[in-house]
Amino acid sequence: MEKKLQNPTSNKNETPAPQGGKWPDETIIRYIIRAFLLLIVFAWALVNLDAVLCFLGKVLALFTPFLIGGAIAFLINVVLRPIECCWNKACRKAPAKLTRPVCLTASTVLILGILFAVVFMMLPSLRESGDEFIQNIPVYVEEIGRWWAGVVQFAAKYNIVLPEYVIDSDLLIEKVTALISDEKSGILTVTWGAATSVLSVFVDVLLGFVFALYLLAKKETVAAHLKKLIETVLPQKTAQRLLSIAALTNQTFTNFVSGQLTEAVIIGVLCFFGMLILGVPYAGAVSAFVAVTALMPIFGAWIGGGFGAFLILLAEPGKALWFILFLIVLQQVEGNLIYPKVVGKSVGLPGLLVLMAVTIGGEAFGILGMLFSVPVCAVLFSLYLEFMKKASTH
């Protein structure tokens, strides 16, 4: 009897031996099979890398207008939302059906107007500056000749003989005119060709632009359908996680674009008034170009400033040096005060990571990499902070 009472107790403490159990488990077998198939596919893709890249390029080409349209819709939406808020406050009695068409039209016209204004401000200024430079060549040649004659006389006092150069101003004018205005390879021709190629690209993305307008006109409906599709196809936990990441990405990119636009306007205004105070020519055109290129983080304003310095150099070489010095001071103010306060806080990213993101993105993907590296890095940084917070609580 005692043995019978002790057996149940001992059975509770001892682990029962599996009877008829299978090992390995079916789930583990499925994972092994999937990993093996993925390994085979990956190895095949490496062996046939050219064919895979060609196929992916064709697929990407099919969806390029829609990807461009999505990017355009996102950019217009950054301007559309504040305009809609202002419209709702100012025109409360207006029919609700008018809000989206009126605000969408205003946002689109505003963005396109700014882009065309910058392009068509720079090209006439560049041509005018080139013509003025050609007309002033004899004056520049005479001044250089006087300066060199003074250097020769000064060196002669110390028994140093320097060669005397005679510059043919007519020949120099001919060469410079050919360099600037040549129909095949001149600077103005190349610049105009680049501008027309940009316009041809704009024509190519017309389909994407129409798609963007459709997305913005029905953005709430499209977002609701996409959310429902994700929740239907994916498991609930995975769907919620994907939607939260999408919301974080949207908010981060919106903050980044808003911050960059604000910074571009500030630096463009400061550049304009600084050039007016210094008496530097082409203040409007150069400031507008600097503001547009400032949309590219950290290095953008330097690119715009370099082109502006070249433009000023053709017209008044002496003023180009003052512009470069002013731009250096402006960049210090922008890098240490404006950018960290406006853009750094908007994306919540430390300055060191911003510099790393822009450098790595530019090296890997060029201008597009420099534009989008900061918000992408901000999203990854936010996900990292969220992961570390969860890990510390467990």
- List, for residues 107-156, the tens digit of each pLDDT value: 888 888 877 777 776 666 666 666 666 666 676 667 777 777 777 777 77
Res. 75: pLDDT tops 80: yes
Q: What is the structure's pLDDT at 15?
A: 47
Take residue 292 and report the two structure tokens written for it: 């547009």
Res. 203: pLDDT tops 70: no
> Are the CB atoms for 129 and 136 separated by under 8 Å?
no
Cis peptide before 95 (omega within 30 of 0): no
Q: What is the structure's pLDDT at 52?
A: 82
Q: What is the structure's pLDDT at 1?
A: 44
Which of 225-239, 280-294, 356-370 shows the lowest per-residue confidence on average (mean pLDDT)? 356-370
The model's confidence at residue 345, banded by pLDDT at 50, 70 and 90, is: low
296-305 mean pLDDT: 73
Residues 6+ apart with CB under 8 A from 297: 260, 339, 343, 354, 358, 370, 371, 373, 374
- How many angstroms separate the Cα of 128 from the Cα of each of 133, 212, 231, 296? 9, 37, 59, 27
Start-to-end C-alpha separation, the chain: 49
pTM of the predicted structure, to 2 decimals: 0.62
Closest CA to 275 of 263, 262, 290: 290
Closest CA to 265 of 334, 323, 350: 334
Q: What is the structure's pLDDT at 181?
A: 53
Q: What is the structure's pLDDT at 200?
A: 56
Closest CA to 342 of 286, 284, 297: 297
Q: What is the structure's pLDDT at 42?
A: 85
Res. 3: pLDDT tops 50: no
pLDDT in tens, 318-334: 788 888 888 888 878 77
The model's confidence at residue 5, banded by pLDDT at 50, 70 and 90, is: very low
Across the chain, what does the average pLDDT equal? 75
Take residue 278 and report the two structure tokens written for it: 């210094």
Which of 30-39, 60-69, 119-128, 322-331 shows the lowest per-residue confidence on average (mean pLDDT)? 119-128
Where is 140: in which H helix or E strand?
helix 137-156
Q: What is the structure's pLDDT at 201?
A: 63
350-354 mean pLDDT: 72
147-173 mean pLDDT: 69
The model's confidence at residue 392, banded by pLDDT at 50, 70 and 90, is: confident
Q: What is the structure's pLDDT at 112?
A: 85
- For every residue of 169-197, DSSP letters joined together read HHHHHHHHHHHHH-TTT-HHHHHHHHHHH
Number of residues that this document lists for the chain: 394
Closest CA to 335 of 247, 263, 227, 249: 263
Take residue 335 and report the two structure tokens written for it: 């890098």
- Helix and strand numbers, DSSP H then E, in the chain: 16, 0
189-210 mean pLDDT: 62
Distance CA 330, CA 323 (A): 10
Closest CA to 77 of 269, 212, 270: 212
Q: What is the structure's pLDDT at 140?
A: 66
Q: What is the structure's pLDDT at 247?
A: 87
The model's confidence at residue 4, banded by pLDDT at 50, 70 and 90, is: very low
Res. 168: pLDDT tops 60: no
> Are the CB atoms for 304 and 293 separated by under 8 Å?
yes
Distance CA 256, CA 370 (A): 13
Distance CA 346, CA 296 (A): 16
